Amino acid sequence: MQIKLAECQQIIDRRRRKNMLIRIIYSTSIATAIVASSVVAVLSLVTVPPLAVTCVSSIATLSSALSIKFNLNDRKNKLEKKYTRIA
């Protein structure tokens, strides 16, 4: 019984670490997209080369695409469901 409990605890700990990493990646990509979009808005008001606006806009797009492609929020929900099943 103790062995099974220890094994389940290890599984839960591993999944918690993965969940934390997923949350960090998701939050970082969203924050990057927001910051990059804000920078684009500010740069478009000031006279800057169009290439700079395009580059920063591309960073915002890639950050948004990253969070959408991997659908990290959905993965977080799946991990939470697995926690409740194990516990």
In angstroms and rounded to an integer, the radius of gyration of the C-alpha atoms of the chain is 20
Q: In the chain, pLDDT over 70 holds for what percent of residues?
A: 90
**36 class by beta-carbon count within 10 Å (0-12 exposed, 13-18 middle, 19+ buried):** buried
> 72 or 38: whose pLDDT is higher?
38
How confident is the model over 9-34, as pLDDT tens digits? 888 888 888 878 877 877 787 777 77
How confident is the model over 43-54, as pLDDT tens digits? 777 777 777 777
Position 64 scores a pLDDT of 74
Confidence of residue 71 (pLDDT cuts 50, 70, 90): low
